[in-house]
């Protein structure tokens, strides 16, 4: 390979591999986010992820925050940036509210779907409620979704045990180990399962536990 070709490769050719990746701090701030750009960002987010209205507002406000950080690094006047942020955050709330009114965001549907998925994945009712709260679902709506989806805590505890290969899902050839039950009980307690639910799941025979999970999956 000639020195000229090697020098060209070090400088980077016209292709993507030759272009230096732009650092986040080098991205220009551009104009402040407005209702139009925030609505576009909201629709892009909803095309990939389900969301509640409150969570969508948080997503859009994080976008506004990133713009403000870039604008600050560019040396824009702090007062002008603060005014733009206030206007953009108000626009973010209005965009999320309008999308919820149009049915593009449905807190109840989000809560029901998430409660069903998390319950089957081995999350306790308490853990499901905490997750829904973190996504902006009000406590009464979260409780209603959990009840409506009939989150079966024994099934959830069994799913938790199967993932950790404990209790009924321990290896058949595994030697009996003193303290294994207490460790499993402790793990279930930390995951939010009540003691009676944990003991019911741990005491279930392997075949019965597998059948209970299969029935729940088919339901």
The pLDDT of residue 158: 92
Between vectors from CA 51 to CA 50 and to CA 53, what angle results, nearest 5°?
Answer: 150
Neighbours of 178 (CB within 10 A): 6
Half-sphere exposure of 144 (CA within 13 A, CB side): 10
The pLDDT of residue 18: 41
Helix 153-164 to helix 195-203 angle (10° resolution) is 60
Which residues are CB-contacts of 84 (< 8 A; sequence separation ≥ 6)? 32, 68, 71
- Listed by start position, the domains of the chain span 29-101, 107-218
The pLDDT of residue 41: 97
CA atoms of 161 and 167, how far apart (whole Å):
6
The pLDDT of residue 116: 85
Block means of pLDDT (10 residues each) for the chain, 219 residues, are 47 46 70 96 95 96 96 95 97 97 93 87 88 91 82 86 89 67 90 91 92 80
The answer to whether the predicted template modeling score (pTM) of the entire model surpasses 0.75 is no
Q: Which of 84, 39, 79 is nearest to 59 (CA)?
A: 39
Which residues are CB-contacts of 209 (< 8 A; sequence separation ≥ 6)? 158, 161, 162, 167, 168, 169, 201
Q: Average pLDDT of the chain?
A: 85
The pLDDT of residue 202: 92
């Amino acid at each position: 390979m000639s020195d000229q070709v090697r020098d060209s490769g070090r400088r980077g050719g016209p292709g993507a591999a030759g272009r230096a990746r732009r650092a986040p701090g080098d991205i220009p701030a551009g104009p402040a986010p407005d209702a139009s750009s925030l609505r576009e960002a909201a629709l892009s987010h909803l095309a990939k992820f389900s969301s509640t209205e409150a969570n969508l507002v948080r997503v859009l406000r994080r976008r506004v925050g990133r713009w403000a950080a870039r604008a600050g690094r560019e040396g824009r006047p702090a007062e002008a940036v603060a005014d733009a942020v206030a206007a953009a955050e108000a626009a973010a709330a209005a965009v999320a509210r309008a999308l919820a009114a149009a049915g593009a965001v449905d807190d109840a549907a989000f809560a029901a779907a998430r409660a069903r998925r998390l319950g089957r994945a081995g999350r306790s009712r308490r853990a499901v409620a905490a997750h829904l709260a973190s996504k902006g679902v009000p406590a009464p709506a979260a409780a209603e979704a959990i009840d409506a989806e009939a989150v079966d805590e024994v099934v959830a505890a069994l799913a938790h045990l199967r993932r950790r290969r404990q209790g009924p899902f321990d290896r058949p050839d595994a030697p009996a180990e003193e303290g294994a039950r207490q460790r499993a009980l402790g793990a279930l307690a930390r995951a939010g399962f009540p003691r009676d639910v944990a003991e019911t799941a741990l005491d279930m025979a392997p075949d019965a536990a597998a059948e209970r999970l299969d029935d729940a999956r088919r339901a």
